[in-house]
Amino acid sequence: MATTNVRDLGDVQLVEFLAEERDRLFKLRFQLATGQLENTARIAQAKRDIARALTELRAREITAAEAVDGGAS
């Protein structure tokens, strides 16, 4: 999923997307271990999607904290 699409998701949808991607990565690793995975690049893509989601979640946390703090820092 592209970065712009991750940014367009709501908070709940973003958490659900993150859970789905983590599950997908688990399944891909399992397929790799059992020799069933043909395209190993899918593992790297899943990791990137997880990183994008985590980055967006953290950015939202920082924005929310700054809004509560009044941007004093």
Neighbouring C-beta atoms of residue 46, cutoff 10 Å: 20
51 located within any domain: yes
Domain with 11, as residue range(s), is 3-66
> What is the per-residue pLDDT for 44?
97
72 located within any domain: no
- Its pTM stands at 0.86
> What is the per-residue pLDDT for 69?
85
Integer Cα distance of 23 and 17 in angstroms: 10
71 located within any domain: no
CA distances from 57 to 34, 41, 66 (A): 33, 25, 14
49, burial (CB in 10 Å: exposed 0-12, middle 13-18, buried 19+): buried
Neighbouring C-beta atoms of residue 10, cutoff 10 Å: 8
> What is the per-residue pLDDT for 70?
78
Residues in the chain, pLDDT under 70: 1-4, 71-73
Number of domains in the chain: 1
> What is the per-residue pLDDT for 71?
60
22: CATH:
1.10.287.310
